[in-house]
Amino acid sequence: MSGVSVAVIGAGLAGLRTASELSRAGYEVTVFEGLSVVGGSAAGSFRDGFSLDGTLPLVRSSDRALISWIEQSELSASLLPPRACIDSQIHRGEIGPIDTSTLSDLAKIPGVTTWDKKRLLRLPRLMARYRAQLDPDRPELAANLDYRSARDFATLYLGKSVWDYWVSPETTSQYASDEMELSRVAFLLSRMTSREGKVALGVMRQGLWQLAERAASRLNVVHDLWADEVTERGDGGYQVHCSFATEDGETHAQKRPRAIDVDAVVVATSPEAAGEIAGPVLVPAERDYFARYRGGPSMSLVLALSAPLAHYAKFVRVPKAEASTIECYLSECGAADGRAPDGKGLVMIRANERFASANSSAADDVVEKSLLASFSRFHPEVRDRVLFTRLRRTQTGNPNFHVGAYRELARLARVQEDRGAAGRRIYFAGDYLIGPGPNQVVSSGMRAAAALRAHFEG
What crossing angle do the helices spanning 184-194 and 150-157 adopt, rounded to 10°?
70
**pLDDT cut 70: percent of the chain above it:** 96
Domain assignment present for 231: yes
Which pLDDT tens digit goes with each residue over 309-319?
A: 999 999 999 99
Over range 171-195, report the average pLDDT: 86
Q: Output the domain CATH number for residue 415.
A: 3.50.50.60
Residues 111, 147, single domain; the answer is: yes
- Final residue in a domain of this structure, among 160, 194, 228: 194
Res 131: pLDDT: 94
pLDDT classification of 234: cutoffs 50, 70, 90 = confident
Q: Which of 4-18, 78-92, 147-161, 189-203 has the lowest mean pLDDT?
A: 189-203
The pLDDT of residue 194:
64
- Whether residue 373 is predicted with pLDDT greater than 50 in this model: the reply is yes
Last residue within a domain, chosen from 194, 227, 257: 194
Same domain, 189 and 286: no
User: Is it the case that residue 252 has pLDDT exceeding 50?
Assistant: no
288 and 413, same domain (yes or no): yes
pLDDT at position 358 over 80: yes
Do 245 and 162 fall within a single domain?
no
Distance CA 410, CA 428 (A): 14
pLDDT at 289 over 90: yes
pLDDT above 70: residue 198: no
Kindly state whether residue 64 falls inside one of the protein's structural domains. Answer: no
Share of the chain above pLDDT 90, in %: 81
The values of phi and psi at residue 171, to 5°, are -70, -40
Contacts of 419 (CB under 8 A, 6+ apart): 283, 426
Asked if 224 and 170 sit in the same domain, the reply is no
pLDDT at 256 over 80: no
Nearest residue to 115 via CA among 166, 153, 162 = 162
The predicted model gives 274-280 an average pLDDT of 96
- The pLDDT score that the predictor gives to residue 249 is 46
What's the burial of 284, exposed, middle or buried (CB within 10 Å: 0-12/13-18/19+)?
Answer: exposed
- Per-residue pLDDT, averaged over 355-384, amounts to 95
Strands 5-9 and 28-32: parallel
- The total number of structural domains that make up the chain: 2
Q: Across residues 281-307, what is the average pLDDT?
A: 94
Nearest residue to 239 (alpha-carbon basis) of 227, 255, 254: 227
SS3 content of the chain, % helix, strand, coil (to 5): 40, 25, 30
289 and 414 both lie in a single domain: yes
Average pLDDT over residues 19-26: 96
In a domain, 266, yes or no: yes
Using DSSP, state whether 452 is helix, strand or coil.
helix
Digit-coded pLDDT (tens) for 397-430:
889 999 999 999 999 999 999 999 999 999 999 9
Give the model's pLDDT for residue 255. 61
**What's the pLDDT at 230?**
96
Q: Which pLDDT does position 224 carry in this prediction? A: 87
Task: Say if residue 185 is in the same domain as residue 218.
Answer: no
Query: What local confidence, expressed as pLDDT, does residue 251 receive?
Result: 44
pLDDT tens digits, one per residue of 95-137: 999 988 889 999 999 999 999 999 999 999 999 999 999 999 9
Per-residue pLDDT band for 245 (boundaries 50, 70, 90) equals low
Of the three residues 142, 162, 194, the one that is the final residue of a domain is 194
Q: Which of 109-113, 189-193, 350-354, 375-379 has the lowest mean pLDDT?
A: 189-193
Does residue 189 sit in the same domain as residue 232? no
* 47 in any annotated domain: no
Q: How many CB atoms are located within 10 Å of the residue 388 CB? A: 12
Q: For 359-366, what is the mean pLDDT?
A: 94
| 149 in a structural domain | yes
Mean pLDDT across the chain: 92
Say yes or no: 9 and 103 in one domain.
no
Quick one: angle between helices 13-24 and 209-217, nearest 10? Answer: 40
Q: What is the pLDDT of residues 29-76, one digit of tens each?
A: 999 999 899 999 999 999 999 999 989 999 988 899 999 999 999 999
pLDDT score recorded for residue 150 = 96
Domain containing 109 equals: 85-194
Q: How far apart are CA 436 and CA 10, in angstroms?
A: 17
Question: Does residue 409 form part of some domain?
Answer: yes
Q: Assess whether 175 and 222 both reside in one domain.
A: no
| Residues 205 and 78: beta-carbon distance below 8 Å | yes
Q: CB within 8 A of 303, min separation 6: which ones?
A: 345, 346, 347, 348, 349, 372, 375, 382, 386, 389
Do 405 and 257 fall into the same domain?
yes
